[in-house]
Structure 1
Amino acid sequence: MQWKLNLLAGLFCAVLLGMFLFLSPMTAATSGIQDDPLVPQPPAMETAPVQPPVQLEVPGLNIVKGVIENRTLYEALTACDIPPSDVLALSRSFKPVFDFRCSRPKDAYQACIDDRNQIQKFLYKTGPLDEYEAIKKDDGGYRVHKREIAMDTKVVSTVFTIETSLYQAVADSGETQLMAGMIADIFAWDIDFYLYPRKNDRIAVVYERCVKDGQLIKYGRILAARYEGERKNFSAFLFNDGQFDGYFDENGQPLKKMFLRTPVKFGKMTSAYSIRRFHPISKRYKAHTGIDYGAPTGTAIFATANGRVTFSGWKSGYGKLLIIKHPNGYQTYYGHCSRLLKKPGQLVEQGQVVARVGQTGVATGPHVHYEVRINGKPVNPNTVKKSRVSPLKPERMAAFKKTIRERMRLVNHVLEEKTNLVMQPGESDALDSARKKT
């Protein structure tokens, strides 16, 4: 008799073990992905928990609200005894403006339901600026629209002092990595932010900061910036040339040039252009016809100039290679990529992501081999003449000078006084009046 009891107990444990092994991977797949260190995380300013939508005041209706977590919206609402037909009708009505299949765990919802548990009004929030409202119609469907969310925009003047890097300087000031990227983009034609900066170089920036309830929602435009370096100074002023907004120096010359300085935003130059370099793999001296920029695998590679893709594929030591043809006989090569994002024949624009950093072909580590050729002959990318686009038209210069006078006052203030300024748009004139009285 005892052996039968032991047999039954063993079978019971085996069933439990099988269920555990079957269910565990599913649980890990659904709940563990948020903590996976290999999954790229969004910028810090976007990771704040989504707050529930504004409380609805609808007489005679009950409120059901919550956060999606690891459920679908259908599961969340039907668990509150809301009829499945109502949830499906809501989902169909939402689809033109938001697909609930794209829901994330921190998304918040709020439903106003009647005494039959049918949804009469519904709010769904995916982020600080993304809130959707649905109102039930007579035909059983819903009228859905995205709500306008008011933000408070202030003009901020700040100086960033470099100790080790631009990212460090921006982080030390309390701003996010997005600001560092915006600054790097503005000076991308003149400054390699990995090689150029020196300790105690300063960058004064006048920019728009958009907040809601004291929380940073996004950055607006950078209106002006000045880089004061040990070796050279650079200025940038946002101005409309009559057609488009662009950045210009204090003389009205556009910052934009034919070629960007580098194909990656913050890559480290690991090997320079050389007619005689000792190759780390072949162990012999040979020409190195480009510049290597080390960066983590998957880092974005940008087209350094407008052009058309002529090759996208595998090429011997280059590994995965992208070649872009530019005007006046120029070509650029991007080698050792992990992914190629463009195909032959496609047009690309300067600054567009065309590939990802990798370690394909003959490479000792993840990097992009960047090469410039003129009429088929390799040249040093650092010596390529980076001709500017058209300067401002004479009839726009008077308005430009007025604009930069106002913004230069803000730049000079933070550089001289070493104190930040926070103003509403248009308050720079008041600052000027105050300075004239002192």
Structure 2
Amino acid sequence: MLDYSKEPVNDYFVIDMKSFYSSVECVERNLDPLTAELVVMSRADNTGSGLTLAASPTAKSKYGITNISRPRDLPYPLPKELHIVPPRMNLYIKKNMEINSIFRQYVADEDLLIYSIDESILKVTKSLNLFTTPGTRSERRKQLARQIQLHVYRQTGLIATVGIGDNPVLAKLSLDNEAKHNKGFIAEWTYQNVPEKIWAIKEMTDFWGIGSRMKKRLNHMGILSIKDLANWDPYALKRQLGVIGLQLYFHANGIDRTDIAEPPEPTKEKSYGNSQVLPKDYTRKEEVEIVVKEMAEQVAARIRQHKCKTGCVRLYIGTSILETKSGFSHQMKIPLTDNTKELQYYCLYLFNKYYDGQEVRNVGITYSKLVYTDSLQLDLFSDPQQQINEEKLDKIIDKIRQKYGFTAIVHASSKLEGARSITRSTLVGGHPGGNGGLNND
């Protein structure tokens, strides 16, 4: 075991909203999130027949439903008690904002890190003296955790699960491996119980940062458990896995010197892109071209927003599952630009060069080799005034859409059959924002 005497000891909570999407839907229907049988299922055409986004704890345990279940995996005939509801992403975002506003009543903004739509990290070291009564450090931590749990439940009806630790990784691991499974939904891990807690994690993929691919790499090295990882040669891990190897080594020993109150230096993206699964197999070339043009425009707007220009365009075309011809992915170097028309031209050039009549189901566009500048680079072979006018037009369209929404100004081609941009502008995270809901059981 490493010497923890010089490691910083802070007070961190990682708070997860239990079965967030399904719990929100239960509360909206005056159902108990823990006992109700409810599944949030996307019915978007591009998922084939729908995909489970979330299920209540009872639905999971009673019917074996997971977050990758399809309608065919549901019990048949459907029990009357089982509610199947569509996602309402805008509602979930609104609830997330409400929950984090509760957290801000206990910590300063710099001590709150919103990790995902249903999970936040709180540094409560300064808060313990303000919101708890005298006791041991552990008692005061749990006292504050219960207080926040109760506050969230009374205001929203949702159940908060709290992992407590001396640092973020200990709090996160205690959340995932203990708090989510015990009766009070609170667990605390410290440096002192690293061997009995962290090293006892049975499945390596239950460890923060280890997925199935990383597990295979570690197994290939001879690392078969978290205990093996914690006691491995850190220099060998760095040689094999780079910086991530060292990070995994320290995390396996419960060490994480991250301070969320100290924001990391901003980094510039190396590329911007977008991809989508089409709602059906596109068999007509003209329909695919419309989608390519729309996506080229959308990603062009993104790079303009970030004040950069691209020197490389990549187009990905994925085919139907029944298509015998393969899809393709090709890129080309181009003169630096953020001009929508030019980028549409290059993307269509790649499409027409490599397209061979395939039935298309996936389209992706990426712009890379970015240069961060908002100055206009004139092309000597084009009319300078036309280039200036096109730049002004792009910026005007961007401003209108930012202020009034994407559909405030659209190209006529986006009204044609096969176009996707108008429909996609109503989605949140690829799913319906939710304009209805309660009558969609």
TM-score range, shorter chain: under 0.3
TM-score (norm 2): 0.21
TM-score (norm 1): 0.21
Structure 1 or 2: more helix by fraction? 2
Structure 1 or 2: more strand by fraction? 1
Please tell me whether Structure 1 or Structure 2 has the larger radius of gyration of its CA atoms: 1
